[in-house]
Amino acid sequence: SLTLGIVGLPNVGKSTLFNALTNSEVEAANYPFATIEPNIGVVNLPDPRLNRLAEIFGSERILPATVSFVDIAGIVKGASEGEGMGNQFLSNIREADAICQVVRVFADEDVVHVAGKVDPLADIETVATELILADLQTIEKALPRLEKEARKNKELVETLEAVKAAEAVLTDGKTLFAAGFDTAPIRELHLMTAKPFLYVFNADEGVLTDAARRAELAAAVAPADSVFLDAKIESELLELDPEDQAEMLESIGQDEPGLDSLARAGFHTLGLQTYLTAGPKESRAWTIRQGDTAPKAAGVIHTDFEKGFIKAEVVSFADLDANGSMAAAKSAGKVRMEGKDYVMNDGDVVEFRFNV
Ligand code: GDP
Low-confidence ranges of the chain (pLDDT < 50): 28-29, 33-34
Given this model, what pLDDT does residue 31 score? 52
What is the per-residue pLDDT across 40-86, written as a single tens digit (0 to 9) for each? 889 999 999 999 999 999 999 999 999 999 988 666 666 666 665 56
Among the listed residues 203, 215, 201, 205, the one whose alpha carbon sits nearest the alpha carbon of residue 250: 205
Give Cα separations from 301 to 171, 264, 308, 352 (angstroms).
44, 22, 12, 10
Ligand 1 atom nearest the C-alpha of 229 is 23
Given this model, what pLDDT does residue 36 score? 52
What is the per-residue pLDDT across 224-270, written as a single tens digit (0 to 9) for each? 999 999 999 998 898 888 899 999 999 888 889 999 999 999 999 99
DSSP code at position 243: H
Parallel/antiparallel/unpaired status of strands 348-354 and 309-316 = antiparallel
Ligand 1 pocket member 106 (CB < 6 A): yes
Ligand 1 pocket member 204 (CB < 6 A): yes
Chain length of the chain:
356
Ligand 1 pocket member 232 (CB < 6 A): yes
Ligand 1 atom nearest the C-alpha of 231 is 23
DSSP code at position 269: H
Among the listed residues 198, 268, 254, 204, the one whose alpha carbon sits nearest the alpha carbon of residue 226: 198
Given this model, what pLDDT does residue 86 score? 60
Query: Are 321 and 348 in contact, with CB atoms under 8 Å apart?
Result: no
How many beta carbons lie within 10 A of that of residue 120, not counting itself?
A: 20
Given this model, what pLDDT does residue 29 score? 47
Ligand 1 pocket member 64 (CB < 6 A): no
351 phi and psi angles, rounded to 5 deg: -130, 125
Question: Which residues does residue 350 pair with via DSSP β-bridges, in sequence order?
Answer: 314
Ligand 1 atom nearest the C-alpha of 16 is 7
Q: Which residues contact 301 (CB under 8 A, 6 or more apart)?
A: 277, 286, 352
Question: Which residues does residue 101 pair with via DSSP β-bridges, in sequence order?
Answer: 7, 199
Parallel/antiparallel/unpaired status of strands 272-278 and 225-229 = unpaired
DSSP code at position 343: B
Ligand 1 pocket member 259 (CB < 6 A): no
Ligand 1 pocket member 228 (CB < 6 A): no
How many beta carbons lie within 10 A of that of residue 127, not counting itself?
A: 23
User: How many whole angstroms from 21 Cα to the centroid of ligand 1?
Assistant: 14
Query: Are 353 and 311 in contact, with CB atoms under 8 Å apart?
Result: yes
Query: Are 270 and 287 in contact, with CB atoms under 8 Å apart?
Result: no
Q: Whose CA is nearest to atom 11 of ligand 1?
A: 11
Query: Which runs of consecutive H residues, i.e. helices, occur in the chain?
Result: 14-23, 48-57, 86-95, 120-152, 156-171, 205-208, 211-221, 231-237, 242-251, 258-269, 294-301, 303-307, 317-323, 326-331
Please, what is the end-to-end C-alpha distance for the chain in angstroms?
A: 25
How many beta carbons lie within 10 A of that of residue 96, not counting itself?
A: 21
DSSP code at position 292: -
User: How many whole angstroms from 98 Cα to the centroid of ligand 1?
Assistant: 23
DSSP string across 28-50 = GGGSSSSS--TTEEEEE---HHH
Ligand 1 pocket member 108 (CB < 6 A): yes
User: How many whole angstroms from 17 Cα to the centroid of ligand 1?
Assistant: 8
User: How many whole angstroms from 211 Cα to the centroid of ligand 1?
Assistant: 23
Given this model, what pLDDT does residue 115 score? 73
Ligand 1 atom nearest the C-alpha of 202 is 23
Given this model, what pLDDT does residue 88 score? 72
Element housing 351 (H / E): strand 348-354
Given this model, what pLDDT does residue 10 score? 87
Ligand 1 pocket member 104 (CB < 6 A): no
Given this model, what pLDDT does residue 91 score? 81
